[in-house]
Amino acid sequence: MKIVVVGLRGIPNVQGGIETHCEHLYPQIAKQDFEVVVIGRKDFLKTKEQYDFKGCKILPLNHPKATSLETIIHTFKAICKAKKLKADILHIHAIGPALLTPWARILGLKVIVTHHGMDYNRQKWGLVGRTILRMGERRAAKYTQGVISISNAITEQINKLNPKQKVFQIPNGVILPEFSEKYEPSAEFKQLNLSEKPYIFALGRFVPEKEFHTLISAWSALPAGSCNLVIAGKPDHVSPYSEQLLEQAQKFGVILPGFIKGALLDDLFRNATGFVIPSTHEGLPIAMLEAMSYNLPIIASDIEPHLEVELDPKCYFKTQSIEELTVKLQKLLENPEKPNYRKLLAEKYDWQIIAQQTTAAYKELLSLTTAR
């Protein structure tokens, strides 16, 4: 069975929750003797030519430079390419690209969409953007053979839009790190000079809904010298917000290692005192699951996707409350006990199990559409 994947910027080592999701999911699916073709956006990939990644074919396609056109034009071209490749199933990720679901159906493709989050709630979108994203969500609910939902809230939303739609609730996942007494930090980590005092870690794109400005304000209100703050990530595109955030971070001495993967990311998780995710909008955040895999104390905003993970109630703070987050940070520094999340993660968020659930969805949809 040939699966063609569209809607993302690409894999591997591309910033973004959807990209991280696909980077972990599709190699597991390829192991099950599925042919996986991921169509990515050329400027975000490591090479301009087709290449293999852990059993998956990565196919770069050109895309507009303008951020307003990047996703929709690339998705249109990717759907046309999927038709030429004779895809058994076209797997579209996110509700923005799902806007073109009717076009894929006109071409005779069998379509499944993964709904990663209600992106129209992101602060960056104006009225037109929110309207288009809601339309994409409605089209995913109406025109696809099935929808994969990563959370309870998304499942409820799809059922509300189309009670007859086939919905598979399959969460994001995480890879459990190995702990060894022989662990040695990387040279990159040592260069950050983080060994002298504890540090709080956060991770994500520099966009308003991640609320890193709130985190910096809360951290800067702690007694001077209490701890360092490390925020890993970068903006997708330079914007007034990202420039303001960088200015705020530099003013207060926040450590910004940039977008990172591999050994340095592992080091930052392993050695952190705690992890903070203050977002106003998420799907089911992989960054939180990654922090949990290192048994880090978590401080999270009380939005529905975070509450769904069912952390201890004391881990949550009122969204956008600088004062409440400052109190939570102070308590964490005073009592930095590490919980043990690994059993929970192994049972609910294992990528191998998630891949099996996804391929079962493929097979079910293919059998249903063939029967029709």
Query: Are residue 253 and residue 323 in the same domain, yes or no?
Result: yes
Mean pLDDT of 229-241: 92
- Give the β-pairing of 89-93 and 56-61: unpaired
Residue-level pLDDT at 370: 56
Strands of the chain (E only): list them: 2-6, 35-41, 51-53, 56-61, 89-93, 111-115, 146-149, 167-169, 199-203, 228-232, 255-258, 274-277, 298-301, 316-317
Residues 95 and 217 in one domain: no
Q: Cα angle at 141 between 79 and 102, to 5 degrees?
A: 35
Instruction: Please determine, for residue 68, whether its predicted confidence score (pLDDT) is greater than 90.
Output: no
Per DSSP bridges, beta strands 56-61 and 51-53 are antiparallel
**pLDDT, average across residues 136-154:** 96
Classify residue 50: in a domain, yes or no.
yes
Taking the model in full, what pTM does it have?
0.90
User: At residue 31, does pLDDT exceed 70?
Assistant: yes
pLDDT at position 372, please? 46
pLDDT value of residue 89: 97
Q: What is the pLDDT of residue 21?
A: 97
Residues 167 and 192 in one domain: no
Is residue 207 domain-shared with residue 168, that is, in the same domain? no
Query: What is the chain's length?
Result: 372
Q: Is residue 182 part of a domain?
A: no
**CATH code, 286:** 3.40.50.2000
Overall domain count for the chain: 2
Lowest mean per-residue pLDDT among 52-56, 183-187, 227-231, 316-320 = 183-187
Does residue 151 share a domain with residue 20?
yes
Measured between alpha carbons, how far is 372 from 5 in angstroms, rounded to an integer?
Answer: 24
- pLDDT at site 369: 61
| Residues 322-369 pLDDT 10s | 999 999 999 999 998 889 999 999 999 999 999 999 999 999 998 876
Q: What is the rounded CA–CA span in Å between residue 358 and residue 346?
A: 17
Distance CA 75, CA 81 (A): 10
Q: Minimal CA–CA distance to 114: which of 82, 97, 92, 145?
A: 92
Average pLDDT on 141-148 reads: 96
Residue with tokens 């919905």, as numbered in its chain: 167
What's the average model confidence in pLDDT over 99-103?
97
Has residue 341 been placed in a domain?
yes
Q: Minimal CA–CA distance to 203: which of 132, 265, 145? A: 265
Confidence of residue 125 (pLDDT cuts 50, 70, 90): confident
Residues 92 and 110 in one domain: yes
* CB distance 214 to 320 below 8 Å: yes
- Nearest-angstrom CA–CA distance, 181 and 152: 39
Both 87 and 200 in one domain: the answer is no
Are residues 129 and 169 located together in one domain of the fold?
yes
Same domain, 273 and 334: yes
The answer as to whether 40 is a domain residue is yes
Mean pLDDT, all residues of the chain: 94
- Specify whether 108 is located in the same domain as 9: yes
Query: For the residues 96-103, what does the mean pLDDT come to?
Result: 97
For residue 180, being part of any structural domain is answered with no
Calculate mean pLDDT across residues 54-80. 94
- Domain of residue 327: give its range: 187-346
Mean pLDDT of 275-299: 95
**Per-residue model confidence (pLDDT) at position 310:** 86
Are residue 48 and residue 195 in the same domain, yes or no?
A: no
